[in-house]
């Protein structure tokens, strides 16, 4: 195999650690000395800080983002016989949460400009069984929540946000996580707010829902050994909560640095009109979890960038409806043509808050060469 020098990695977790090593080490020692490792003071403090950050009343820490979405559906009483509207173009976890709860995901095609759910197509997918709309803020760009809320109100549906890629983003000035009945977040290490392992959280303004979620994550129990309902074991770790508190205090700064990288890309690449750049609707303040470009000859661009030591990924190469997990649902090739076309043309170029000016310029230079 050829030995290529990595000039610009897709993400740089080492740089992330180095930037805050001292504070993480302090957090680590604080937890070790506390001798309290499950649902202790750190989780409680993080929940309060993250609720505050998300402009919601409650936050419930859980084991990961998939469980956050799954528990929300359970707490809402959504299960077998029910349908939930989901974007066709998303990470498969959005769909799996619905399936895991026993309900059926009903996919809706994306808007070609924003890659988020096309709200003009939602109503046609609603049936008597529909219980909720699960909207995703994909790539860090908020979905059109007013349009979604309006449809939900008319049909008496719950609105759930999958905010796993959008910690800190704003829609018409309001934080994601505060825009529906409840929101699920992931703290997978590479997310905008990431733990040193798995983690997740739910935000909501509904006190009853929050209480139910606290039971569901902890064996259906409020008081030790009193199991009121059949729950799960999916709690945010005390150690992860301590690390997340350190990172949460930096999140706005880190998101601003992502915006700065995105602006350099946008300014330098707009003149190349056959390359499709991300569109930012007037109501959106995105946090650039990913910077996704689109081109009919993706393969060639991918190859050129890789040959020049620049990391890229595709989010996502196989749409959920064509994955093995959903085989047998009669969703053949061609069922969701917009999603399928997008999945063949999109490319995520390096995006992280550690990127230097030189690294961003290297990506731009190589990208221009490739197109
Ligand atoms: C990461 C992600 C999830 C799942 O989060 P995990 O913590 O990995 O379980 C769900 N939805 C979207 C859109 C994601 O990007």
CB count in 10 Å sphere of residue 357: 10
pLDDT for position 5: 77
pLDDT for position 3: 52
Interatomic CA distance for residues 274 and 258, integer angstroms: 24
Contacting residues for 52 by C-beta, under 8 A, at least 6 apart:
none
**Helix, strand, coil abundance in the chain, percent, nearest 5:** 40, 20, 40
pLDDT for position 6: 80
CA dihedral sign of residues 220, 221, 227, 232: positive
Q: Which of 102, 98, 183, 186 is nearest to 148 (CA)?
A: 183
Q: Does the Cβ of 165 fall within 6 Å of ligand 1?
A: yes
**How far is the centre of ligand 1, averaged over its atoms, from the C-alpha of 53 (Å)?**
20
Bridge partners (DSSP) of residue 158 are 132
Interatomic CA distance for residues 238 and 235, integer angstroms: 9
Please state the φ and ψ torsions of residue 42, each to the nearest 5 degrees: -70, -45
pLDDT for position 208: 98
Largest CA distance in the chain: 65
Bridge partners (DSSP) of residue 136 are 162
pLDDT for position 4: 62
Q: Does the Cβ of 203 fall within 6 Å of ligand 1?
A: no
**How far is the centre of ligand 1, averaged over its atoms, from the C-alpha of 96 (Å)?**
10
Q: What tens-digit pLDDT sequence spans the chain (371 residues)?
A: 445 678 999 998 888 999 999 999 999 999 999 999 999 999 999 999 999 999 999 999 999 999 999 999 999 999 999 999 999 999 999 999 999 999 999 999 999 999 999 999 999 999 999 999 999 999 999 999 999 999 999 999 999 999 999 999 999 999 999 999 999 999 999 999 999 999 999 999 999 999 999 999 999 999 889 999 999 999 999 999 999 999 999 999 999 999 999 999 999 999 999 999 999 999 999 999 999 999 999 999 999 999 999 999 999 999 999 999 999 898 999 999 999 999 999 999 999 999 999 999 999 999 999 99
Please identify which residue in the block is written with the tokens 């994909």. Answer: 138
| Alpha-carbon dihedral 193, 59, 209, 155, rounded to 10 degrees | -50
The bridge status of strand 104-108 relative to strand 170-171 is unpaired
Q: Does the Cβ of 161 fall within 6 Å of ligand 1?
A: no
Q: Are 289 and 11 in contact (CB under 8 A)?
A: no
Question: Residue 198 CA: which ligand 1 atom is closest?
Answer: 7
DSSP state, residue 320: G
Question: Residue 188 CA: which ligand 1 atom is closest?
Answer: 7
**How far is the centre of ligand 1, averaged over its atoms, from the C-alpha of 65 (Å)?**
5
Interatomic CA distance for residues 95 and 75, integer angstroms: 17
Bridge partners (DSSP) of residue 204 are 58
Question: Residue 187 CA: which ligand 1 atom is closest?
Answer: 7
Q: Does the Cβ of 64 fall within 6 Å of ligand 1?
A: yes
**Residues of 111-146 as b/e, b for ≥16 C-beta within 10 angstroms?**
beebbbbbbebbeeebeeebbbbbbbbbbbbbbbbe
């Amino acid at each position: 195999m050829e030995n290529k020098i990595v000039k610009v990695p897709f993400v740089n977790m080492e740089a992330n650690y180095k930037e805050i090593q001292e504070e993480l080490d302090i957090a680590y020692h604080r937890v070790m000395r506390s001798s309290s490792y499950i649902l202790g003071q750190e989780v409680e403090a993080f929940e309060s800080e993250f609720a505050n950050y998300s402009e919601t009343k409650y936050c419930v820490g859980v084991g990961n983002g998939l469980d956050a979405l799954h528990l929300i559906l359970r707490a809402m009483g959504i299960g077998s016989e029910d349908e939930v509207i989901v974007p066709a173009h998303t990470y498969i976890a959005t769909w799996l949460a619905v399936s895991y709860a026993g309900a059926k995901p009903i996919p809706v095609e994306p808007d070609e400009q924003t890659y988020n759910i096309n709200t003009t197509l939602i109503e046609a997918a609603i049936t008597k069984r529909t219980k909720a709309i699960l909207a995703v803020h994909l790539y860090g760009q908020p979905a059109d929540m007013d349009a979604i809320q309006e449809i939900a109100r008319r049909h008496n549906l719950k609105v759930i946000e999958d905010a796993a890629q959008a910690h800190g983003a704003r829609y018409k000035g309001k934080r994601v996580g505060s825009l529906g009945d409840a929101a699920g977040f992931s703290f997978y290490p590479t997310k905008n707010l990431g733990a040193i392992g798995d983690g997740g959280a739910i935000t909501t303004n509904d006190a009853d829902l929050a209480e139910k979620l606290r039971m569901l994550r902890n064996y259906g129990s409020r008081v030790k050994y009193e199991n009121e309902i059949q729950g799960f074991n999916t709690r945010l770790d005390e150690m992860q909560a301590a690390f997340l508190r350190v990172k949460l205090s930096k999140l706005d700064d880190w998101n601003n640095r992502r915006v700065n990288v995105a602006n350099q890309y946008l300014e330098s690449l707009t003149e190349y009109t056959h390359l499709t750049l991300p569109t930012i609707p007037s109501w959106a303040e995105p946090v650039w979890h990913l910077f996704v470009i689109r081109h009919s000859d993706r393969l060639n661009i991918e190859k050129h960038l890789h040959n020049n030591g620049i990391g890229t990924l595709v989010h996502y190469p196989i749409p959920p409806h064509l994955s093995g997990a959903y085989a047998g649902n009669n969703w053949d090739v061609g069922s969701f043509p917009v999603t399928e076309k997008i999945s063949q043309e999109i490319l995520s170029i390096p995006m992280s808050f550690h990127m230097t000016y030189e690294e961003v310029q290297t990506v731009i230079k190589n990208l221009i060469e490739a197109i």
